[in-house]
């Protein structure tokens, strides 16, 4: 029997029996391995939907004007030393971090998942890390910062080094042919997904995001601030990709989710939060953006609690208030007016096609 499947504005006719088999063979891990990118029938609808949403948010660094940022950077009076330091730390840290995330997707996560729609969204995720890395190059070249000075930052500043080591180790330990039939190795993989999605992109990125957007709110570095707002919008999708990936992995492999393992994940988040707080104190040795290091540390506790709840884990600290309610508003750029001569809006129109699931047909 034949059955119609609709995806976006396209309709496909599949042999029902074969489609049922192909669907059943799709798994987060240990599913059917195939070189043909057989997206149909879709099993992980969220992955396809997120792929389209991510594509609709496409942006290019060069579309963002940097004149004002350059003027401020070159002026001797407009900025404090503390404000310059935050920009240097932001560029220094993210130059390394974006690369580490992209590398882990390509060499670990995208390698180990088996369902094609998961590989599809992870390919886009890795590409967005390339865009972010490119946006940092654009900032470095616009401001005339010595790239070697930036590189030196992630080799010589201990709090950056420690944050990078924390995630790189988890990524490195997975680069071998892994037999994912064992609970222990499945847990290693789940740990990687949790650390990269919820601890790193989900929590450790937010200290600097908050600081740079605080500057932006005071009309300092409007171009850099804009790029970080777009980056942040992308990151929120990346966190969602990894959150769904973890949830589905656990659902299909309940042996992973032991009490002990959940405690291990809580401990890893605890470590990530501590590293982030040390890093925040390095970024804000003095009160530089009109906000204190303590407030940013509280913000990180608040964000970390949201991430833990998102994956069904008990937060490290419950009932932490968000010290920066204005930040949520600044992160929400959905309602923003045309920024690059309407380009973002156009992309969104093109891909906001309706999705009809097969039971509706
Ligand atoms: Mn990124
Ligand atoms: Fe990311």
Could you read off the pLDDT tens digit of each residue along the chain, which spans 361 residues? 888 888 878 888 889 999 899 999 999 999 998 778 888 899 999 999 999 999 999 999 999 999 999 999 999 888 888 999 999 999 999 999 999 999 999 999 999 999 999 999 999 999 999 999 999 999 999 999 998 888 888 788 899 999 999 999 999 988 877 889 999 999 999 999 999 999 999 999 999 999 999 999 999 999 999 999 999 999 999 999 999 999 999 999 999 999 999 999 999 999 999 999 999 999 988 776 778 999 999 999 999 999 999 999 999 999 999 999 988 888 766 544 444 444 454 445 444 433 333 333 3
Report how far residue 58's alpha carbon sits from residue 55's, in angstroms, rounded to the nearest whole number.
5
Measured in angstroms, how far is the CA atom of residue 201 from the centroid of ligand 2?
A: 6
Q: What is the helix, strand, coil percentage profile of the chain, to 5?
A: 70, 5, 30
Helix (H) or strand (E) holding 4: strand 2-7
**Within-domain flag for 57:** yes
DSSP assignment letter at 10: E
Measured CA to CA, the distance from residue 193 to residue 247 in angstroms comes to 10
DSSP string, 147-209: HHHHHHHHHH-HHHHHHHHHHHHHHHTT-S---TTSHHHHHHHHHHHHIIIIIIIIIITHHHH
Q: How many separate domains does the chain show?
A: 1
206 is catalytic: no
Taking the centre of ligand 2 as the mean of its atom positions, its distance from the CA of residue 208, in whole angstroms, is 14
Distance 98 CA to ligand 1 centre (A): 5
Question: For 271-318, how does the pLDDT look when each residue is reduced to its tens digit (9 = 90+)?
Answer: 999 999 999 999 988 776 778 999 999 999 999 999 999 999 999 999
Assess if residue 313 is contained within a domain.
Answer: yes
Q: What is the DSSP secondary-structure string of 37-70?
A: ---PSPS-HHHHHHHHHHHHT---GGGS--HHHH
Distance in Å, CA 166 to ligand 2 centroid:
16
The CA radius of gyration of the chain, in Å to the nearest whole number, is 21
pLDDT of res. 333: 65
Would residue 14 count as lying in a domain? no
Residue 140 placed within a domain: yes
Any domain includes 181: yes
Does some domain include residue 210? yes
Ligand nearest to the CA of 196: 2
CATH code of the domain containing 184: 1.10.620.20
**Annotated catalytic residue: which of 44, 48, 51, 138?**
138
How much distance in Å is there from the Cα of 231 to the middle of ligand 2?
8
Q: Which ligand ends up closest to the CA of 133?
A: 1
Q: Which ligand is nearest to the CA of 197?
A: 2
Task: Print the domain residue range for 121.
Answer: 45-360
Beta strands in 106-154 (DSSP E): none
- Residue 350 CA, ligand 2 centroid: distance in Å: 24
Dist. CA 266–CA 350, nearest whole Å: 41
Any domain includes 26: no
Q: What is the pLDDT of residue 111?
A: 94
pTM of the model: 0.90
Residue 178 placed within a domain: yes
User: What is the pLDDT at residue 341?
Assistant: 44
Å from CA of 194 to ligand 2 middle:
13
């Amino acid at each position: 029997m034949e059955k119609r499947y609709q995806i976006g504005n396209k309709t496909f006719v599949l042999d029902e029996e074969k489609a049922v088999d192909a669907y059943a063979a799709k798994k987060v891990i240990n599913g059917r391995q195939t070189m043909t990118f057989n997206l149909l029938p879709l099993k992980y609808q969220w992955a396809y939907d997120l792929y389209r949403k991510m594509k609709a948010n496409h942006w290019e660094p060069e579309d963002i004007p940097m004149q004002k940022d350059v003027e401020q950077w070159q002026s001797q009076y407009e900025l404090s030393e503390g404000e310059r330091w935050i920009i240097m730390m932001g560029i220094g840290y993210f130059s390394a971090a974006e690369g580490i995330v992209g590398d882990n997707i390509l060499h670990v996560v995208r390698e180990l998942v088996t369902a094609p729609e998961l590989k599809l969204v992870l390919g886009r995720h890795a590409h967005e890390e390339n865009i972010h890395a490119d946006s940092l190059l654009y900032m470095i070249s616009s401001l005339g910062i010595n790239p070697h000075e930036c590189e030196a930052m992630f080799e010589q500043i201990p709090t950056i080094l420690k944050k990078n080591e924390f995630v790189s180790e988890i990524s490195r330990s997975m680069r071998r042919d892994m037999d994912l039939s064992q609970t222990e190795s499945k847990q290693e993989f789940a740990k990687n997904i949790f650390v990269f999605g919820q601890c790193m992109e989900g929590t450790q990125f937010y200290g600097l995001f908050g600081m740079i957007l605080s500057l932006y709110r005071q009309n300092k570095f409007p171009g850099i601030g804009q790029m970080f707002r777009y980056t942040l919008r992308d990151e929120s999708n990346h966190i969602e990709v990894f959150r769904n990936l973890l949830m589905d992995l656990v659902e299909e492999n309940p042996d992973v989710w032991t009490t002990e393992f959940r405690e291990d994940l809580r401990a890893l988040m605890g470590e990530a939060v501590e590293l982030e707080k040390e890093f925040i104190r390095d970024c804000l040795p003095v009160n530089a953006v009109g906000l204190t290091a303590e407030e940013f540390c509280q913000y990180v506790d608040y964000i970390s609690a949201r991430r833990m709840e998102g994956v069904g884990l008990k937060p490290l600290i419950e009932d932490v208030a968000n010290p920066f309610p204005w930040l949520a508003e600044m992160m929400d750029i959905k309602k923003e007016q045309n920024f690059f001569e309407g380009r973002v809006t156009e992309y969104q129109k093109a891909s906001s096609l309706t999705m009809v699931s097969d039971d509706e047909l």
